[in-house]
Amino acid sequence: MGDPQLLEISAEVDPIDTATLEPLLQDMWETMEEANGAGLAAPQIGVMQRVVIFGYQTNPRYPDAPPVPQTVLINPLITPLNEVQEDGWEGCLSVPGMRGIVPRFRDIRYRGYDQYGNAIDREASGFHARVVQHECDHLDGVLYPFRIKDMRHFGFIDTLAETGVIELQPCDDEP
């Protein structure tokens, strides 16, 4: 956070060329896994294209979260299924060491393409929907702190954990 590039709108991927995307995606999966992230957007590694990845079987950073299918999502489009919003704690690899409570649509439909050009069209709720909204925000230059309604619920992971506001996970000292 602070890098002006993270505030830019990323470009549509056209055409979706598997061979061109492969090294980018490999870099993104490695970056995400090293940080135990739930997802990552291409602008976070300096590539201003509408590509996000997310998903895991189990995630040490979010031990209570249900699995989210491992997904490459290109040129995503999100549609809320209703008006219901839910508050939840979020962190971001571009905002290391911090957490905040962010309202997100609880139920969404998301569409886009994988790296082979296959269409993706899914409905998601809860944490899955939250991760997709968080990652796709990066493509429009939006970081989660911009969406925090009550800044009292934004803080350093260490301090939030020491004071019992959040439960610290073993991996939380990583970026």
Nearer to Ni ion, 92 or 101 (CB): 92
Q: 16 near 117, Cβ under 8 Å?
A: yes
Query: Minimum CB separation from Ni ion for residue 58, in Å?
Result: 20
Task: Give how many residues touch Ni ion by CB under 5 A.
Answer: 1
Report d(CA 30, CA 48) in Å as an integer.
18
Nearer to Ni ion, 73 or 92 (CB): 92
Report d(CA 83, CA 100) in Å as an integer.
22
- 32 sits near Ni ion (criterion: CB under 5 A): no
Nearer to Ni ion, 96 or 117 (CB): 96
Residue 175 tokens, joined: 């970026």
Per CB under 5 A, the segment of 53-61, 84-92, 110-118, 165-173 that binds Ni ion is 84-92
DSSP-assigned letter for residue 142? -
Instruction: Return the residues of window 54-83 that contact Ni ion according to CB under 5 A.
Output: none
What residue has token string 């790296």? 115
Report d(CA 47, CA 51) in Å as an integer.
9
Task: Decide the pairing of beta strands 39-41 and 119-125.
Answer: unpaired
Nearer to Ni ion, 124 or 139 (CB): 139
- 92 sits near Ni ion (criterion: CB under 5 A): yes
Q: Phi and psi of 114, rounded to 5°?
A: -90, -175
Query: Minimum CB separation from Ni ion for residue 105, in Å?
Result: 17
Catalytic site positions: 135
Positions touching Ni ion (CB under 5 A) are 92
